[in-house]
């Protein structure tokens, strides 16, 4: 099938061709025709499956056909995303597909006064992170009474990082006469509850079931003591200095310390995390894309928010507390038909996390080095207390990322 067969107009098909998009992915092929008929959509799809275009295309088609223009301080369509980076990429996709619609981005880390001014004349499509949107609503800079299209992208991540109350408040400001599309990589109970609140008799579209690693990613684990991780990372990075590598740290402070250590070791490295301003994050990603920086150290703020072809290696320096994030992290490599490698480090304290990941995957992760730890983490009472404190601290850290 080609995009033209989905009933898209010639101008949009031409723009898709210019972007190198001629054949819809499975999620696009299933979701776009249903969305064009006005149906609510519940899409279950992993990162990298093309779901951004699956909701951008129907939005553009419908809004382009309507004669009405946005009223001041209103938005005809609203797209919510969990991170600034993902929101920015959605805007880039929309802008690549249309020049006829007014598209506005509002995220934290940017001047709220400037964003208020941009919203004063209204917008066709508003792409926002929930927290900043709430701030603008409180200032009466934007109203959602005329919003007829709502998209929740990476809805499970929004729940995971604590946006549930913000989502409920935003939903209460929307009219019931709307079309809603919700996309998620996983379907926990909280997601099912959320879908019942937001969606009306939705069409469920599911591709790449949760826990499935992309076909062209080879992934493995090194069992290594926590205090030896840095040396192992430097050794492995030294084997492919000319390739881009994305390194995931669990915490903001850990990411910054690791980046500085790599810089001292002679690697062109930078970092993104919740303590960085939006300008710093944008510059770091731009340098990584351009190749002037070869190593990007990040928290899970980048697990679903970066689409950079040519990332040859992903390192899970720290294993994620949320096992599904392992799949999202390693999905940053092997994009656009390329192959990639993902290497995880597992210290004794992380055995529980590794077992949870393997349960989600339904298989064991191949061992690349070291011996599996014989004892479970936190065996003694004092160790348990330290682990409980560590996880509580890291949860708070992740919420702010």
Examine the pLDDT at 131 and tell me if it is beyond 60.
yes
Among 258, 86, 68, CA closest to 77? 68
Q: What is the dihedral of CA 279, 282, 287, 288, to 10 degrees?
A: 140
The mean pLDDT value for 148-165 works out to: 88
Among 123, 143, 335, CA closest to 246? 335
- Residue 128 forms beta bridges with which residues? 80, 106
Percent of the chain at pLDDT above 70?
88
CA 377 to chain centroid: 30
3-state SS, residue 393: helix
3-state SS, residue 217: strand
Q: Are 141 and 163 in contact (CB under 8 A)?
A: no
The rounded distance, in Å, linking the Cα atoms of 102 and 262 is 42
Examine the pLDDT at 210 and tell me if it is beyond 70.
no
What domains are defined for the chain?
Answer: 3-206 (3.40.50.300), 217-400 (3.40.50.300)
DSSP 9-25: -HHHHHHHHHTT--S--
Neighbours of 198 (CB within 10 A): 21
The mean pLDDT value for 80-84 works out to: 92
Residue 397's pLDDT is 47
Which range is least confidently modeled, 58-62, 341-345, 361-365? 361-365
- Which parts of 5-82 fold into alpha helices (H)? 10-18, 26-36, 51-65
Which residue, chain included where needed, has tokens 């980076």? 85
Neighbours of 36 (CB within 10 A): 15
Question: H or E stretch including 154?
Answer: none
Q: Please, which residues have CB within 8 angstroms of residue 70's CB and are 6 or more apart in sequence?
A: 76, 102, 121, 122, 123, 124, 146
Q: Are 159 and 195 in contact (CB under 8 A)?
A: no
Among 173, 98, 97, CA closest to 128? 173
Neighbours of 163 (CB within 10 A): 21
Residue 208's pLDDT is 64
CA 312 to chain centroid: 19
The rounded distance, in Å, linking the Cα atoms of 73 and 286 is 31
Which range is least confidently modeled, 220-224, 267-271, 274-278? 274-278
Question: H or E stretch including 152?
Answer: strand 149-152
Q: Are 226 and 373 in contact (CB under 8 A)?
A: no
Q: What does the chain come to in residues?
A: 401
pLDDT tier at 209, thresholds 50, 70, 90: low
User: Where do the DSSP E strands lie in 37-139?
Assistant: 41-44, 75-80, 103-106, 123-128
Which range is least confidently modeled, 137-151, 178-192, 231-245, 325-339? 325-339
Examine the pLDDT at 291 and tell me if it is beyond 70.
yes
CA 322 to chain centroid: 14
């Amino acid at each position: 099938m080609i995009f033209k067969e989905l009933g898209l107009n010639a101008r949009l098909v031409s723009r898709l061709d210019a972007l190198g998009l001629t054949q819809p992915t499975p999620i696009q092929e299933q979701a776009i025709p249903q969305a064009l008929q006005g149906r609510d959509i519940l899409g279950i799809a992993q990162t990298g499956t093309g779901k951004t275009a699956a909701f951008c295309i129907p939005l553009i088609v419908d809004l382009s056909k309507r004669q009405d223009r946005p009223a001041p301080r209103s938005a005809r369509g609203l797209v919510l995303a969990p991170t600034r980076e993902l929101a920015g990429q959605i805007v880039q996709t929309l802008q690549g597909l249309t020049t006829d619609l007014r598209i506005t981005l509002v995220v934290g880390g940017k001047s709220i006064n400037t964003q208020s001014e941009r919203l004063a004349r209204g917008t066709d499509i508003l792409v926002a992170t929930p927290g900043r949107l709430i701030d603008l609503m409180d200032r009466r800079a934007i109203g959602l009474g005329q919003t007829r299209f709502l998209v929740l992208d990476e809805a499970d991540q929004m729940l995971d990082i604590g946006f549930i109350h913000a989502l409920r408040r935003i939903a209460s400001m929307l009219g019931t006469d709307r079309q809603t599309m919700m996309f998620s990589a996983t379907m926990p109970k909280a997601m099912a509850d959320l879908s019942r609140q937001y969606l009306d008799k939705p069409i469920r579209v599911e591709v790449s079931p949760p826990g499935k690693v992309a076909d062209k990613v080879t992934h493995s684990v090194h069992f290594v003591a926590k205090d030896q991780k840095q040396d192992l990372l430097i050794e492995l990075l030294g084997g492919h200095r000319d390739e881009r590598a994305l390194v995931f740290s669990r915490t903001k402070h850990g990411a910054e310390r690791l980046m500085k250590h790599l810089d001292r070791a002679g690697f062109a490295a930078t970092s993104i995390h919740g303590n960085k301003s939006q300008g710093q994050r944008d510059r770091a990603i731009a340098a990584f894309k351009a190749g002037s920086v070869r190593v990007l150290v990040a928290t899970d703020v980048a697990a679903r928010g970066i689409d950079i072809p040519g990332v040859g290696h992903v390192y899970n320096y720290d294993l994620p507390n949320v096992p599904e994030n392992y799949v999202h992290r390693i999905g940053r490599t092997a994009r656009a038909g390329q192959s990639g490698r993902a290497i995880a480090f597992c210290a004794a304290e992380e055995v529980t996390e590794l077992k949870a990941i393997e349960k989600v995957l339904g298989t064991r992760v191949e061992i690349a080095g070291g011996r599996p730890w014989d004892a479970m983490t936190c065996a003694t009472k004092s160790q348990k207390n330290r682990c409980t404190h560590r996880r509580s601290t890291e949860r708070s850290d992740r919420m702010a990322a």
